[in-house]
Chains A and B, each alone.
Chain A
């Protein structure tokens, strides 16, 4: 697990928004994640992903909460999220979009605060 990186003014592009909506749309994901994430920044990122031009600040504590959420959900759901996250991470790595790449890498594998 890599060290957390704070993402400031992170503004998901249309490709990322679409991926976030797909993840949140899965019934299991919607219920399990909504309960665990409560009112965190990830709740807004996933469940209000369609909102236009919103930027997010994602801090260590948010990533930790995300990592915790991923460990609480069923394996089958975690795998489903990770498969999409890996695809997104690769896309942004290959296209030199650092912020999006960090975002999807952390969505995939979580991170630890040092």
Chain B
């Protein structure tokens, strides 16, 4: 009888210790996530303040037209360089937040096979949206001469059409070139 009691007591102690330890881990991971979120938000705010007074960029319209850069490609370059500048400013705060989200979600997930839901976990707020990925992917697939040209225009900046002084002129020239290209005529 006494042996059985000791046995049950030992099992209960083991279970409760495990539960308390588990709670400690969860609390630790939640604290880590909270710290990472605050750090990321503060970094976002600082980066925004840094990039607000943007220097105007003037596009070399004839060079763009000569290189047959399309409007979509120009837009993809804006998105690509904006992303690069943002990543450089955010440093590792974004990665730290992603890592904290993954740690907590992996710990509380039912099994290692359970996929982490990007929406429920909050990852969707930190990861690029499909639209952003799509736009940036266009840039990475451009020919080398187009990349060189766009790189020489935008490298080291966080461009948007609001920071381009002659985007309307460039847009209409590039559109005209697209409309009158032999490829389009053939179609």
| Assembly CA distance A69 to B44 (angstroms) | 19
| Assembly CA distance A96 to B122 (angstroms) | 35
Q: Are B125 and A76 interface neighbours, CB within 8 A?
A: yes
Known A-B contacts A75-B41, A76-B37, A76-B41; the reply to A94 vs B129 at CB < 8 A is no
Q: Are A94 and B132 interface neighbours, CB within 8 A?
A: no
Closest chain-B Cβ to A100's Cβ sits at a distance in Å of 14
Does A19 reach chain B (CB closer than 8 Å)? yes
**Secondary structure dominating the interface of A:** helix
Q: Are A76 and B40 interface neighbours, CB within 8 A?
A: yes
- Interface locus among B27-35, B49-57, B70-78, B106-114: B70-78
Closest chain-A Cβ to B99's Cβ sits at a distance in Å of 16
Report the interface size class on chain B.
20 to 34
Contact with A along B18-50 (1 / 0, CB 8 A): 000000000000000000010011001100000
Q: Are B71 and A87 interface neighbours, CB within 8 A?
A: no
| Assembly CA distance A91 to B135 (angstroms) | 10
| CB proximity to B under 8 Å, residues A77-102 | 77, 79-80, 83-84, 86-88, 90-91, 93-96
| CB proximity to A under 8 Å, residues B96-151 | 119-120, 122, 124-126, 128-132, 135
| Assembly CA distance A84 to B71 (angstroms) | 18
In the bound complex, residues from chain B placing their C-beta under 8 Å from that of A75 are 41, 44-45
Closest chain-A Cβ to B162's Cβ sits at a distance in Å of 9
Does A52 reach chain B (CB closer than 8 Å)? no
Does A26 reach chain B (CB closer than 8 Å)? yes
| Assembly CA distance A25 to B124 (angstroms) | 9
Does B176 reach chain A (CB closer than 8 Å)? no
| Assembly CA distance A70 to B144 (angstroms) | 40
Q: Which residues of A contact B (CB under 8 A)?
A: 18-19, 22, 25-28, 74-77, 79-80, 83-84, 86-88, 90-91, 93-96
26 A–B contacts from the bound complex (CB under 8 Å):
A18-B131, A19-B131, A22-B130, A25-B119, A26-B119, A26-B124, A27-B119, A27-B120, A28-B122, A28-B125, A75-B44, A76-B40, A76-B126, A77-B125, A79-B44, A84-B129, A84-B132, A86-B82, A87-B132, A87-B135, A90-B160, A91-B75, A93-B171, A94-B71, A94-B161, A94-B167
